Homo-oligomer: A and B are copies of this chain.
Amino acid sequence: MITSGVRVVNAGLDLITEGVPDALQLDWRPPAFGDAEVARLAAGLDVQATRSANDQAISRVHSARPEWTRTVRAADALPVLSEGRTLLYAGPPIKWERMCDPVRGALVGATLFEGWADSPDGARGLLASGAVTLSNCHGHGAVGPMAGVISPSMFGFLVEDGEARAFTTLNEGLGKVLRFGAYDESVLERLRWMRDELGPTLDAVLRQGEPVDVTGLIGQALAMGDEGHNRNIAATSLLARRLAGRLAALGASPRVFAFLAENDHFTLNLSMAAAKLAMDAGRDVPGSTLVVAMCRNGVEFGIQVSGTGDRWFTAPVGPADGLFFPGYSIADANPDLGDSAITETLGIGGFAMAAAPAITRFVGGTPADALAATASMERITMRRHPAYPIPATGFRGAPSGIDVLKVIDTNVLPVINTGIAHRQAGVGQIGAGIVTAPAGVFLDAVRGLAEAARP
């Protein structure tokens, strides 16, 4: 017996319900963003084989326990940097000619820092000439925030889990910094200080005691308002408090203490390296539709997928819209940039927004939006990360492991918290916001997965 009123529910074209009062219009679109060919290719994949491959891939990711074991020169962690002149940058592969200004600026700065040129023009000429090999971080077990430039002498975080390792630079703080393309003397002086004092001191601290369980640190910080990408003050404070005694015992300088006390994003790079190590553990499982990398080079957005090896699926990327610092607007913004989306790839950052309601004041939106963002990411991910419970969602784990097929099925795109760089090298950060990955990379990934599945 129908006791309540009958209502019209429509999934599809608005036209059908025009004139029907109170009809509930569902936000339905055909899957694969309307691309029937990709929908057919996705439907053609072997469901059982995909499920089994994904179980294996995501289990590996969730079993990773990256520890911050050492702070070393990049050349000592990354063989590609150990001889000749090579620099790494963020995002999918790109040639010098097509690079955006902030990345070029950062490469100029790194060239000057390494002493390969003695003026910005000289550095630019050297880089344009091809005399310095340019390669992307992700291709070498590394990640870098924003421009993401890594040069041989830079000190950085080494995280390890058994034989597995990942590397990234030390976070420089805010203001004029290399990762936004700045390369004036203040930037180079800081890099030298990080190389000569901060890096070696942090390494001595690690050798003096236990390594740092980065998964545990981030897990604790998610209960303290961090999401591990745009908000890192809890993890940084916990870490600085824990290391303070060791630093004091080593006679660390006031500048080291001040740097740790004043840089609220110190642990961002650490969580990036840990996420990189974890996601690399999920690579190269034949048939798996797990996204193992998302990144941007300021021109293109790129992803890699477990079942398609080192192949990049890319699409043009625009600037993030969000909240701009006074005096700036989206007209000043560089297209989205950096390897930091490796945090979302793992399930923190934008995926864990529910953990960080305070961040909504910084990137726009409300705490309800934060809960909605995390709930929405549950629709496109494989599991909840057991090490990252979020108090506000009843301690459910952060949604973890993007499944290309779920993105295609739901038309829901991954959300990414991001800083916004000025389009001119060296101006620096001008805002922060939330971006979604472009649909095209997931459509291409399905094509790639279908190709790989062909006998």
**Are A245 and B254 CB-contacts (below 8 A) given A224-B225, A358-B223, A367-B394?**
yes
- Within 8 Å of chain B (Cβ to Cβ): is A252? yes
Interface locus among A12-20, A45-53, A257-265, A309-317: A257-265
Q: Is A357 a contact partner of B392 (Cβ separation < 8 A)? A: yes
A90-98, A177-185, A231-239, A434-442: which lies at the B interface? Answer: A231-239
Interface centre among A236, A241, A252 (most CB of B within 10 A): A241
Within 8 Å CB of A394, what residues of B? 366-368
Q: Which residues of B contact A236 (CB under 8 A)?
A: 241
The interface residues of chain B lying within 8 Å CB-to-CB of A360 are 391
The reply on A395 being an interface residue by CB < 8 A is yes
Residues of B within 8 A of A224 (CB): 224-225, 233-234, 358
Which chain B residue lies CB-closest to A356? Answer: B391
Q: How many copies does the complex hold?
A: 2
Q: Using Cβ atoms and an 8 Å threshold, which residues of chain B touch A174?
A: none
User: Which residues of chain B are near A140, meaning CB under 8 Å?
Assistant: none
Complex partner residue of A260 from B244, B261, B393, CB under 8 angstroms? B244
* Chain B residue contacts of A331, Cβ below 8 A: none
Residues of chain B with a CB closer than 8 A to A366's CB: 394
Assess whether B237 is in contact with A241, with CB atoms less than 8 Å apart. yes
Answer whether A257 and B261 are a contact pair too, CB < 8 Å, given A237-B234, A237-B238, A241-B237. no
Q: Mark A110-150, 1 if CB is under 8 A from B, else 0.
A: 00000000000000000000000000000000000000000
Whole-angstrom distance between the Cβ of A363 and the nearest chain B Cβ: 13
A223 CA to B261 CA, complexed, in Å: 18
Q: How far is the CA of A368 from the CA of B236 in the complex (A)?
A: 28
How many Å lie between the Cα of A366 and that of B244 in the bound state? 34
Q: Which residue of B lies closest to A251 (CB)?
A: B248
A250 to B429, CA, bound (A): 36
Partner of A244, one of B223, B240, B357: B240
Partner of A248, one of B225, B233, B238, B248: B248
Our pick among B225, B234, B244 for the contact of A257 (Cβ within 8 Å) is B244
CB distance from A387 to the nearest CB of B (A): 15
| Cα–Cα, bound, A241→B244 (Å) | 7
Given contacts A223-B225, A225-B391, A391-B367, contact A247 B244 (CB under 8 A): yes
**Cβ < 8 Å to B, chain A residues 253-283:** 254, 257-258, 260-261
A368 neighbours in B (Cβ, 8 Å): 394
**Which B residues touch A234, using CB under 8 A?**
224-225, 234, 237
Report the bound CA distance from A240 to B257 in whole Å.
11
A8 at the interface (CB under 8 A from B): no
Whether A361 is near chain B, meaning CB under 8 Å from some CB there, is yes
Give Cα A99–Cα B252 distance, bound, in whole angstroms. Answer: 50
> Is A242 close to B, CB under 8 A?
yes
Closest partner residue, chain B, to A393 (CB atom): B367
Chain B residues with Cβ under 8 A from A225's Cβ?
223-225, 234, 391
Assembly CA distance A282 to B432 (angstroms): 41
> With the chains together, A393 CA to B367 CA distance in Å?
8
Give every chain B residue within 8 A of A261 (Cβ-Cβ): 241-242, 244-245
**Quick one: which of A234, A360, A393 has the most chain B CB within 10 A?**
A234
Is there a chain B Cβ closer than 8 Å to A6's Cβ?
A: no
With a CB–CB cut-off of 8 A, which chain B residues contact A258? 245
Known: A223-B225, A225-B224, A225-B225. A361 touches B241 (CB 8 A): no
Give the residues in chain B near A241, CB-CB below 8 Å. Answer: 236-237, 240-241, 244, 260-261
- Report how far A225 CA is from B226 CA in the complex, Å: 10
Closest approach, in angstroms, between the C-beta of A2 and any C-beta of chain B? 15
Beyond known contacts A223-B225, A248-B248: 13 more, CB 8 A cutoff: A225-B225, A236-B241, A237-B237, A237-B240, A240-B240, A240-B244, A241-B244, A244-B244, A244-B248, A244-B260, A248-B257, A357-B391, A366-B394
A-B contact pairs, 27 of them (CB 8 A): A223-B358, A224-B225, A224-B358, A225-B225, A225-B234, A225-B391, A234-B237, A236-B241, A237-B238, A240-B244, A241-B241, A244-B244, A244-B247, A244-B260, A245-B254, A245-B261, A248-B252, A248-B254, A248-B257, A357-B391, A360-B391, A366-B394, A367-B391, A367-B392, A367-B394, A367-B395, A392-B392
